Amino acid sequence: MRIGILTAGGDCPGLNAVIRSVVHRAMTGYGDEVIGFEDGFKGLLEGHYRTLDLNAVSGILARGGTILGSARLERSRLREAAETSAELARKYGLDALVPVGGEGTLTAARMLSDAGMPVVGVPKTIDNDISSTDRTFGFDTAVMVATEAIDRLKTTAESHQRVMVVEVMGRHAGWIALESGMAGGAHGICLPERPFQVEDLVKMVEERFARGKKFAVICVAEGAHPAEGSMVYKKGEIDQYGHERFTGIGTRLAAELERRMGKEARPVILGHVQRGGTPTAYDRVLANRFGWHAVEAVHRGEFGRMTALRGTEVVTVPLAEAVTRLKTVPEHRVREAESVF
């Protein structure tokens, strides 16, 4: 068989582990040929690809990023890809395509699949917000990086009687904030799923100071936002270069807390360090397994599906099912964390 693979969307620790695993399983398990398209669907459309053999994937398991590159593609061109699906498959002699990506990529994968391309998707997102899979690789690494940052900030907050506001990734789903907040022992956690009352955070901090715990760490997802009326909050203005000024929720919230309480409050915006670099052992194992199972699914002819973790097992589920709704933090997980506001 001839299997194509591509990686699309934002960076995510574990992409290289998937590529390596697909190549290993396909070549040593089945004697397949694997080709890798460069820069996501762009490479597929424009014919940029290279053969991947064992040497090509040697030493990449623990490396961040993706050796195939990744680029965003406009929606119109994705549609083009979908429409010429069958033709593309013929052109490259593809028996299967394994696109590795997030919600957007999997939606495109589904379009391609519907149009006749034999597709087995592999879900990827540090945000852990894809339905139908218990977890996605990249998420554990993001949580680990955020937790290590909270660990460091906590000692400073405590020694200097300060409030620290850590903004972590998560535009629509609060999983990173929830788990790094729990793991780091944040005293307040704010999620996109629940508008928060600044007043409640102020009260929590003041109660802590009152009982001698003169510091607090608040972990806030970038997509979190105050309840209406709870905080004067304007979206970032446009500066002289036409760029939106960075005035994310972390910076705003720290300023607001400082203003209301007269206590030092400092924002830390973790940003891209959460989505790059070497994956945790957990993410490497999951990425490995997803790659292995994608090849198995190809050989069983289970197309139009993607790999998914269910409990301890990796299975495949219909792409259709996976991309219909975002997996957000449910109410009972919020209760467990105790400190979500």
Active-site positions read 127
| 191 annotated as a binding-site residue | no
322 binds its own copies (CB under 8 A): no
| 103 annotated as a binding-site residue | yes
| 2 annotated as a binding-site residue | no
Residues within window 75-134 making contact with its own copies, judged by CB under 8 A: 134
Residues within window 160-199 making contact with its own copies, judged by CB under 8 A: 160-161, 164, 179-180, 182-185
Residues within window 4-23 making contact with its own copies, judged by CB under 8 A: 7, 10-11, 15
Q: Binding string to its own copies for residues 251 to 280, with x set by CB under 8 A, is what?
A: x---xx-xx------xxxxxxxx-xxxx-x
Check if the beta carbon of residue 98 is closer than 8 Å to that of residue 21.
Answer: no
- Strands 120-123 and 305-310 come out as parallel
Check if the beta carbon of residue 17 is closer than 8 Å to that of residue 121.
Answer: no
SS3 category, 148: helix
Please report how close the Cβ of residue 94 comes to its own copies at its closest, in angstroms. 23
152 binds its own copies (CB under 8 A): yes
Farthest CA pair distance, the chain: 71
| 280 annotated as a binding-site residue | no
Strand partners, 313: 310
Cα separation, 219 vs 166, in Å, equals 5
Q: Which is nearer to its own copies, 94 or 295 (CB)?
A: 295
Cα separation, 80 vs 123, in Å, equals 22
| 188 annotated as a binding-site residue | no
- The contacts of residue 291 (CB under 8 Å, 6+ apart) are 17, 18, 19, 20, 21, 22, 24, 25, 122
Please report how close the Cβ of residue 88 comes to its own copies at its closest, in angstroms. 23
Residues in contact with its own copies, counted by CB under 8 A, come to a total of 89
Residues within window 211-250 making contact with its own copies, judged by CB under 8 A: 213, 232, 239-243, 245-247
Please report how close the Cβ of residue 104 comes to its own copies at its closest, in angstroms. 15
Please report how close the Cβ of residue 81 comes to its own copies at its closest, in angstroms. 20
Q: Which is nearer to its own copies, 88 or 268 (CB)?
A: 268
Output phi, psi for 316, to 5 deg.
-120, 150
Residues within window 51-70 making contact with its own copies, judged by CB under 8 A: 58, 61-66, 69-70
Measure Cα distances from 63 to 66, 101, 146, 277, 283 in Å.
Answer: 8, 17, 19, 7, 12
| 222 annotated as a binding-site residue | yes
- The contacts of residue 244 (CB under 8 Å, 6+ apart) are 235, 236, 237, 238
Cα separation, 251 vs 94, in Å, equals 49
Please report how close the Cβ of residue 339 comes to its own copies at its closest, in angstroms. 9
| Token reading at 291 | 């790659």
50 binds its own copies (CB under 8 A): no
Task: Name the segment binding its own copies (CB under 8 A); options: 116-124, 197-205, 288-296, 316-324.
Answer: 288-296
Check if the beta carbon of residue 256 is closer than 8 Å to that of residue 224.
Answer: no
Cα separation, 298 vs 272, in Å, equals 34
Q: Which residues are annotated as a binding site for substrate?
A: 125-127, 162, 169-171, 222, 266, 272-275
Q: Which residues are annotated as a binding site for Mg(2+)?
A: 103
